[in-house]
A and B are shown apart, each in its own frame.
Chain A
């Protein structure tokens, strides 16, 4: 049985704050959120995208480890599955609380609209969760099982489809030029790998520290290299997005991009998304990466990607729509997350951490934290 460990106080406190936020949202509904009719999607949607994409990225990297037979990545095969499941459950929790009427989700089955990106999101991510559970099960009962290989192969297709569709939810909305087009489904796939690698690196490092040992250097270095490659491509993709956004033909696209780089979102964009989330990790990882440095870079990347999701969701909605030609009430719509939204997001982070730690203790993830192994944790870690 998992026991309370001192470090759990922090994620535990975050979960308690999240529960307070959930109660407030249940009682006050939309009034508990900073969203408005003009900016209907806020940080909970961004948070869901963050968790779902990171879960997909972690799963994809786990599948890569599985099929590439790279020795350095072998130790992440099992943790990647359980981490992906923990992140996905945290994301589902967030979206469940964001929805006004989650009980009506039965109509996703009984009255499906196959033209809707959100319908496909529900479908593909439910399958992802089911496949992850099956993979987790097989990873425990018989790691060499052929079934696991088959399920993993299906899951790879499902993961790519799920994360690209997550991008398509935004990309298919023709009335929001900042989101519209083929760019975002590919961008979210790329940044899912970035955030998945970062989440894995953070989890592996913290798991080792939890057991009072150093994280496996080869694993951390391999995850560092994946992050580095993803960061370089993300930097290029961002540069392209900004360039084409600022020079695009559609004024609403130009205004939204300007909001990001020189308008109300600029401070967050440059300081958190680009500075903290991209440039500093790039600099850290460009040098020979020891475990601690990769962990630090991973945490910064995770913070940066969270704000990347938030900025993306915001920039698409901030520019007022041209309904009556020549009428514009405000230059930009505003949105500030409430304490409820911050508490829920923090709660989801805490829940993901505790879920992973719980699964590490109860199941054999090969990280050496299994309760059954007790004091042999160190020995198991040495095997890793």
Chain B
């Protein structure tokens, strides 16, 4: 069984937001709804200032608080690592939105909190999520961590990685390459 994950090398990101637009096209989202976003971190003091860009999206947590709190199991964790939402079961209580530590849920017009789906339905056919394939700088690598020969497995071995807000115990499946690592 595949176990999908994503590796993000934020140091390569130019902030062009093509990933966000590609995702919006893929899922036909209105302009104000987006499943991935860019966080801009500024540090240092003039004239020695730095800006880093960190892409953020649903982390497809292995211990997802959004699924733990969902009263109807509308949000659920699949065996292959994907955290998905069954629209038919969602009552629109927004408990998952409140419980997500990454602020990635977005309400759609039907009152269902949406988020990145790791392109379920496409990746099983061997396709890459458009946020990955659109990126001109190969910031994102998506693949199966259970396959030692996958690109993501190899890259994860090459460089030290970290997860966002790992101290919250959510065990994210989106990893970030450590800067200077």
Contacts and interface: CB of A to CB of B under 8 A. Distances in A.
Contacts of B97: 37, 40
A37 B56 CA distance: 15
B68 A100 contact: no
Interface stretch (A106-114, A212-220, A339-347): A106-114
B93 A118 contact: yes
Interface in B18-64: 39-41, 43, 54, 56
Contacts, number: 126
B109 A29 contact: yes
Contact of A116 (B94, B95, B168): B95
Contacts of B95: 116-118, 169
Contacts of B100: 175
Nearest to B95: A118
Interface in A82-133: 99-102, 104-105, 107-108, 111-113, 115-119, 122
Contacts of A116: 68-71, 95
B92 to A, nearest CB: 2
B101 A113 contact: no
B107 A108 contact: no
In this complex, the interface size class of chain A, counting residues with CB under 8 Å from chain B, is 35 or more
B105 interface: yes
B102 interface: yes
B2 interface: no
B112 interface: yes
Interface string B71-111: 11110000000000000111111110111111101110111
A141 interface: no
Interface string A298-340: 0000000000000000000100111111110000000000000
A124 to B, nearest CB: 12
Given A113-B70, A115-B69, A322-B165, A101 B101 contact: no
Contact of A30 (B69, B93, B105, B107): B107
Given A29-B110, A175-B101, A101 B90 contact: yes
A173 interface: yes
B156 interface: no
A41 interface: yes
A8 interface: no
B98 A176 contact: yes
In this complex, the interface size class of chain B, counting residues with CB under 8 Å from chain A, is 35 or more
B73 A111 contact: yes
Interface string A35-50: 1011011000000000
B71 A324 contact: no
Contact of A37 (B39, B74, B89, B105): B105
A188 to B, nearest CB: 17
A249 interface: no
B164 interface: yes
Given A323-B101, A324-B41, A174 B111 contact: no
A172 B88 CA distance: 26
A12 to B, nearest CB: 29
Contact of A29 (B72, B94, B99, B111): B111
Contacts of A324: 39, 41, 54, 56, 164
Contacts of B73: 107, 111-113
Contacts of A100: 90-92, 94, 107, 110-112
Interface string B137-181: 000000000000000000000000000110011000000000000
B130 interface: no
B102 A323 contact: yes
A102 B91 CA distance: 6
Nearest to A179: B98
A210 B68 CA distance: 49
Contacts of A30: 107, 109, 111
B94 A40 contact: yes
B33 to A, nearest CB: 9
B95 to A, nearest CB: 5
B39 A323 contact: yes
A118 B69 contact: yes
Nearest to A169: B95
Given A99-B111, A108-B72, A324-B54, A37 B91 contact: no
B43 A326 contact: yes
A37 B168 contact: no
A41 B74 contact: no
30 contacts: A37-B106, A99-B111, A100-B92, A100-B112, A101-B92, A107-B72, A107-B73, A107-B74, A108-B91, A111-B73, A113-B68, A116-B71, A116-B95, A117-B95, A118-B71, A119-B71, A122-B71, A172-B69, A173-B99, A175-B65, A175-B99, A176-B98, A317-B98, A323-B39, A324-B56, A324-B164, A325-B41, A326-B41, A326-B43, A327-B40
10 closest pairs, A vs B, by CB?
A: A100-B111, A100-B92, A107-B72, A119-B71, A40-B97, A40-B94, A175-B101, A118-B71, A116-B71, A107-B89
Interface of B: 39-41, 43, 54, 56, 65, 68-74, 88-95, 97-103, 105-107, 109-113, 164-165, 168-169
Interface of A: 29-30, 35, 37-38, 40-41, 99-102, 104-105, 107-108, 111-113, 115-119, 122, 169, 172-176, 317, 320-327
